[in-house]
């Protein structure tokens, strides 16, 4: 079974629209970490955020915000007022305290149309 | 601060050949990870090295191997190349991780094409 599911394969939005990227994870650990990465067309994955399982406080960084809900095992990512530069593939990842690897989702390809 | 560096950037090989990919982690990082990203697929975990030892290995055949040197740089070796090995190979590094708490920082990758 997939430990990290990103059900949205591709999303297209018009510039300035808001968009939410979904991430659902599965783990039996009580301590775990969740991450979001951005992979622009150039290829390099860029680390965006880390959350630990004990901190459900939502976080906002500029136009980016993250909604972590343990009750639904979700860690969704919202981009407000999207821009063309936001076009990329976004990956959600899980790391378990008792594990020894990252589990990446299959990614969501976001295209922002000018 | 220099990021994760990988070499070469691009590589073209033929079936049956062998290839070595190289990775230098961010200064201070002791863990190195290797991933395969084939076209249209997500990141497939290959190997994790820390302090010179292999800590974990993904579901890949033994012809995928690697090592980590005392300076924490790493090599990924692939023997008997097959067409399906064509992919972007990503290296990442992190500080020593305790229970998976450290984010991984990625290099630009090596694009390997098998003809």
> Along the 114 residues of chain A, how does pLDDT read in single tens digits?
679 999 999 999 999 999 999 999 999 999 999 999 999 988 889 999 999 999 888 888 899 999 999 999 999 999 999 999 999 999 999 999 887 788 999 999 999 999
**CA angle at B40 for the pair B4 and A70, rounded to the nearest 5°:** 75
CB B86 within 8 A of CB B113: yes
> In angstroms, rounded to a whole number, what is the distance separating the alpha carbons of residues A104 and B42?
7
Cα of B41 to nearest chain A Cα, Å = 7
Yes or no, beta carbons of B92 and A31 under 8 Å apart:
no
Residue A59: its pLDDT value, please?
Answer: 85
Interface residue B40 vs chain A (CB under 8 A): no
Task: Flag whether pLDDT at B98 surpasses 80.
Answer: no
Closest of A45, A47, A44, A52 to residue A36, by C-alpha? A47
Residue of A45, A97, A106 lying closest to B106 (CB–CB): A45
**C-alpha distance from residue B14 to each of B61, B82, B83 (Å):** 19, 8, 8
CB B89 within 8 A of CB B76: yes
Residue of B43, B100, B105 lying closest to A104 (CB–CB): B43
What would the pLDDT profile of B3-41 be if each residue is shown by its tens digit? 999 999 999 999 999 999 999 999 999 999 999 999 877
Token output for B100: 């998976």
> In angstroms, rounded to a whole number, what is the distance separating the alpha carbons of residues B79 and B81?
5
> In angstroms, rounded to a whole number, what is the distance separating the alpha carbons of residues B114 and B96?
34
The β-bridge partners of B71 are none
Residue B101: its pLDDT value, please?
Answer: 86
% chain B with pLDDT above 90: 85
Residue A1: its pLDDT value, please?
Answer: 64
Residue A76 or B98, more confident:
A76
> In angstroms, rounded to a whole number, what is the distance separating the alpha carbons of residues A101 and B56?
7
């Amino acid at each position: 079974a997939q430990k990290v599911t990103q059900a949205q394969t591709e999303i297209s939005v018009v510039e300035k629209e808001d968009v939410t990227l979904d991430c659902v994870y599965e783990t039996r650990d009580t301590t775990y970490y969740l991450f979001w990465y951005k992979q622009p067309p150039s290829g390099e994955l860029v680390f965006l955020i880390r959350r630990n399982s004990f901190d459900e406080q939502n976080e906002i960084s500029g136009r980016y915000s993250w909604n972590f809900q343990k009750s639904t095992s979700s860690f969704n990512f919202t981009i407000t007022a999207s821009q063309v530069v936001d076009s990329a593939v976004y990956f959600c990842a899980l790391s378990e305290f008792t594990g020894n690897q990252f589990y990446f989702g299959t990614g969501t390809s976001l295209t922002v149309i000018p | 601060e220099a990021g994760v560096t990988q070499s070469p950037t691009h590589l073209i090989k033929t079936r049956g050949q062998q290839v070595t990919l190289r990775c230098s982690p961010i200064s201070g990082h002791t863990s190195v990870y290797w991933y395969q990203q084939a076209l249209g697929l997500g990141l497939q975990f290959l190997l994790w090295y820390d302090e010179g030892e292999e800590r974990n290995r993904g579901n890949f055949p033994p012809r995928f191997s690697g090592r980590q040197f005392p300076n924490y740089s790493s090599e990924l070796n692939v023997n008997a190349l097959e067409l399906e090995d064509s992919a972007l190979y990503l290296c990442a590094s992190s500080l020593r991780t305790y229970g998976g708490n450290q984010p991984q920082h990625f290099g630009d990758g090596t694009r390997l094409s098998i003809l």
